[in-house]
Amino acid sequence: LLNIATDGETYGHHHRFGEMALAYALNQVQKHPDITLTNYAAFLDTYHPLWEAEVLERGSWSCSHGIERWRDDCGCSTGSQPGWNQKWRAPLYEAFQTLRRGLAQVFEERGASFFRDPWAARDGYVEVLLDPSSAGRAHFVAEHGRADLAPGERRRLFAWLEIQRCLALMYSSCGWFFDDVAGLESLLVLRWADRAMELWRSL
């Protein structure tokens, strides 16, 4: 088994037409009779592991400080602005944590009037994101919504779930990686936090 691991955003994001190069490479590999493209699940169905490896918890590929790279002034830098620091990370991270905890408590309390199990509904919401059709939404409501849910409450039900989606997106990795809090990436995670609060105010 030859494992090839790359960053998904390399293709078409960091390198223009990278997705086309990847498609071409995969096409060429598939033409080779001695090579089979696979994934870990399929491979392990045929070849059982002889030993296991343990993933280092709270580790990071980008610096020796682990996840501190995303929540504190760890000292590492992209080097784009000599002398800059990331002292903004810790207070912003704590602000996001406060927002997430507060809205999680409200979601549990008020979500009980919409969902059989609010957290199971939050986890299952990905199915709506994959299939946002009327049928997909109806199936989700039938599976996760309370039986006594009024028809007019469905819009509010999905607004509660959108809040949870925004709270997850505000932790997007790129928003915490670079030095400048006013950069595009950090502004995007701030917008997700703002959108969560905007939806909360509307409810």
Residue 71: pLDDT band by 50, 70, 90 thresholds? Answer: confident
Cα–Cα distance between 97 and 54 in angstroms, integer?
28
Please state, rounded to an integer, the average pLDDT across all residues of the chain.
90
Please write the tens of the pLDDT for every residue from 95-132: 999 999 999 999 999 999 999 999 999 999 999 999 99
Q: How far is CA 17 from CA 20, 25, 28, 41, in A?
A: 5, 13, 17, 29
- pLDDT of 176 > 90? The answer is no
| pLDDT value, residue 66 | 84
Please write the tens of the pLDDT for every residue from 73-96: 888 877 777 888 889 999 999 999
Please write the tens of the pLDDT for every residue from 25-42: 999 999 999 999 998 899
DSSP class per residue in 97-139: HHHHHHHHHHHHHHHTTTBSSHHHHHHHTHHHHH--SHHHHHH
| pLDDT value, residue 120 | 97
As beta bridge partners, residue 115 has 145
Considering only CA atoms, which of 102, 44, 78, 111 is closest in space to residue 185?
78
Task: Look up residue 84 and give its amino acid.
Answer: W
Structure tokens at 174: 């790129």
**Model-level pTM?**
0.77
Residue 143: pLDDT band by 50, 70, 90 thresholds? Answer: very high
| pLDDT value, residue 35 | 92
| pLDDT value, residue 25 | 92
